[in-house]
Amino acid sequence: MTDEDYMTLALGEAQKALQADEIPIGCIIVSQNRIIGRGHNLTETLQDVTAHAEIQAITAAAATLGGKYLKDCTLYVTVEPCIMCAGAIGWAQISRLVYGTSDEKKGYTRFAPQALHPKCSITQGVRADECKQLIQTFFKNKRS
Amino acid sequence: MTDEDYMTLALGEAQKALQADEIPIGCIIVSQNRIIGRGHNLTETLQDVTAHAEIQAITAAAATLGGKYLKDCTLYVTVEPCIMCAGAIGWAQISRLVYGTSDEKKGYTRFAPQALHPKCSITQGVRADECKQLIQTFFKNKRS
């Protein structure tokens, strides 16, 4: 499985959000080639601003592992994490972050560049066009 | 009820965390003089890094109100929020933040000063000594 393959699975999670009329963002967490957590944005469904894809995937992954630190895990998310989610990724000590499209308005790289664990490696731009198009189509349909 | 009174209630939440052998941080959310959400740190109990006092209180308050935005609410927390929690406070559009003691190592003012909603007003230092002492005693006992 490549980064592109895993991002395709994260896009599948984002599709679940879209079907629930949520901003389509999806996330999976992988440890030793095994998916240990999944999540998609559910802020409207749950009426809870904390119900971002990453937060749910981190909670799920910790439950799978039986421990709160996700040190040797890779988190794949379709959109650059926000401040809140980057903070959570930092607390979980996730060792690698892979994201699709950047979020210039709300992304952590602009507002909290030191949020992640210092040893976390970051890859951006994986399936970026598909990740971005999903978001753009959602908002375009909302406005029309 | 004054800010000091509400912070005393947040300290009561922190005591619950202490009794569960958790880092003692507590939070309450108030709307129109009514407590609509409470939370205390449960990261060890739940083995979940996202289980901070503020995150739980925000989720509880949104459930109480039946809506995810907490625009006319005040969040009282015994310790300066971290990046993750400040991001959540920002998303919830909480209009006022009151915290006790500062957190120079992990506090949002150092790492994500723009995390809160631009209109959020901030008061710090309420019952700061009690809030700080509770944390310091916890860590002192852990080390001994």
Q: What is the mean pLDDT of the segment spanning A114-118?
A: 94
Whether residue A112 contacts residue B111, with contact meaning beta carbons closer than 8 Å, is answered with yes
Half-sphere exposure of B93 (CA within 13 A, CB side): 8
Within 8 A by CB and 6+ apart from B65, the residues are B31, B36
Question: What is the pairing mode between strands A26-31 and A73-79?
Answer: antiparallel
Which residues neighbour B49 within 8 Å (Cβ) at sequence distance 6 or greater?
A58, A62, A68, A69, A88, A91, A92, B43
Tokens 């925000």 belong to residue: B58
Structure tokens at A66: 């039986």
A134 and A110 Cβ atoms separated by less than 8 Å: no
- Of B4, B13, B22, B54, the active-site residue reads B54
- The answer to whether residue B144 scores a pLDDT higher than 90 is no
* Pairwise CB contact (< 8 Å): B92 & A59: no
Token pair belonging to B123:
């008061």
For residues A51-66, average pLDDT = 97
Whether the Cβ atoms of residue A69 and residue A89 lie closer than 8 Å to each other: no
- Percent of chain A scoring above 90 in pLDDT: 97
Q: Does this model's pTM top 0.95?
A: yes
| ipTM of predicted complex | 0.96
**Mean pLDDT over residues A34-56, rounded?**
98
List pLDDT tens digits, range A126-140: 999 999 999 999 999
**H helices within chain B, ranges in order?**
3-19, 43-46, 53-65, 83-91, 108-111, 128-143
- State whether the Cα torsion A105-A106-A107-A112 is positive or negative: positive
pLDDT at residue B8 in the model: 98
Written as six digits, the tokens of B90 are: 């920002």
pLDDT per residue over B10-25, tens digit each?
999 999 999 999 999 9
Q: Is B54 a residue of the active site?
A: yes
Q: Which residues of B touch A66 (CB under 8 A)?
A: 47
Whose tokens are 């992954």? That residue is A61
Cα–Cα distance, A56 to B51 (Å, whole number): 11
CA distance B130 to chain A (A): 26
* pLDDT at site A144: 81
Interface of A with B (CB under 8 A): 43-44, 46-50, 55, 58-59, 62-63, 66-69, 82-88, 90-92, 111-112, 114-115
Q: What angle do CA B99, B118, B108 make, to 5 degrees?
A: 45
Looking at residue B120, the DSSP 8-state letter turns out to be -
According to DSSP, the residues that pair with B37 across neighbouring strands are B29
Q: Cα separation of A17 and A30, whole Å? A: 20
Asked whether the predicted pLDDT for residue B142 surpasses 90, the reply is no
Cβ–Cβ < 8 Å for A92, B78: no
Distance of alpha carbon A110 from alpha carbon B16, whole angstroms: 36
Digit-coded pLDDT (tens) for B49-93: 999 999 999 999 999 999 999 999 999 999 999 999 999 999 999
* Chain B residues whose C-beta sits inside 8 Å of any chain A C-beta: 43-44, 47-50, 55, 58-59, 62-63, 66-69, 82-88, 90-92, 111-112, 114-115
